[in-house]
Amino acid sequence: MLKIEGIEASYGPVKALHGVTIEVPEGSVVTLLGPNGAGKTTILRVVSGLLRPSAGRVEFDGRRIDRRSTEAIVRMGISHVPEGRQLFDEMTVHENLMLGAYTRNDRDGIKADIKRLNGYFPILEERREQPAGSLSGGEQQQLAVARGLMSRPRLLLLDEPSLGLAPLVSREIFRILRQVNREEGITIFLVEQDATSALSFADYGYVVETGRVVIEATSDKLKEDENVRRAYLGY
């Protein structure tokens, strides 16, 4: 479904990606692991059109997307839940959700989607009129994911959804994401620092270090890999 081929990308004179190739099959959960500064967020930014690669290509459903605008990419069915959530703190939960639907104008469909999402995120219905900034960290992350789903994506890009959350809260987020993957058939490309959670959730994983893929394998194989265990799983 998503094909990233040999992408290179820079921030000014600093090269962040040195030829990264990744594939995400439809219906799957694929994770991207790696230390701080490895280029994980940069890869997601290239996919969602926020950063143009200097070489390589990105294809979605066989169509090239690396020259398209972010809005066009959202319309094609890719949604990016960014690192740090990026909610509008002063706006209500409901208003934040509506922002996720900015590319749509089917009012009845939007209403129906909010109702359906309330099934996955009941807390958001309870907090509907509260400012997003008043929610707990875990609730804010749920809102960020729900907002990402409001564009009706077929591919969801998630950048460190467990960041800063207690293990129990993070587990709850992954439980919901698994449901969304299975019940809605939404493909997930997940960036995570918490390798244990990521590998128990994902089918396949890539490890990036300093802008390059250094290992790729099924999650089960990665869990057994000596280097991955030592560097990312801590045993």
Binding residues for ligand ATP, rule: CB under 6 A, are 11, 14, 16, 34, 36-42, 83, 193
Residue 83 or 172: the one with the smaller Cβ distance to ligand ATP is 83
Q: How many CB atoms lie within 10 A of CB 24?
A: 24
3-class DSSP assignment, residue 121: coil
Least distance between Mg ion and beta carbon 39 (Å):
8
Q: Six-digit token pair at 63?
A: 């169509």
Sign of CA dihedral 228, 231, 233, 235: positive
The sheet carrying 55-60 orders its strands as 14-24, 2-11, 55-60, 63-64
Judged by CB under 5 A, which stretch of 14-22, 38-46, 114-122, 149-157 contacts Mg ion?
Answer: 38-46
Residues 57-86 that bind Mg ion (CB under 5 A): 83
- Among ligand ATP, Mg ion, none, what binds residue 36 when CB lies within 5 to 8 Å by partner kind? ligand ATP
Least distance between ligand ATP and beta carbon 36 (Å):
3
Residue 97 or 162: the one with the smaller Cβ distance to ligand ATP is 162
Residue 40 or 127: the one with the smaller Cβ distance to ligand ATP is 40
48 binds Mg ion (CB under 5 A): no
3-class DSSP assignment, residue 160: coil
Planar angle of CA 233, 47, 19, nearest 5 degrees: 70
- Among ligand ATP, Mg ion, none, what binds residue 42 when CB lies within 5 to 8 Å by partner kind? ligand ATP
3-class DSSP assignment, residue 85: coil
Q: How many residues appear in the chain? A: 235
Least distance between ligand ATP and beta carbon 167 (Å):
19
Least distance between ligand ATP and beta carbon 128 (Å):
31
41 binds Mg ion (CB under 5 A): yes
Residue 32 or 74: the one with the smaller Cβ distance to Mg ion is 32
Place of tokens 């972010």: 70
Longest Cα–Cα distance of the chain, Å, equals 52
Least distance between ligand ATP and beta carbon 191 (Å):
7
The sheet carrying 29-33 orders its strands as 78-81, 155-159, 187-191, 29-33, 204-209, 212-218
Query: How far is 141 from 107, CA to CA, in rounded Å?
Result: 25
Residue 150 or 202: the one with the smaller Cβ distance to ligand ATP is 202
Q: Which residues bind Mg ion (CB under 5 A)?
A: 40-41, 83
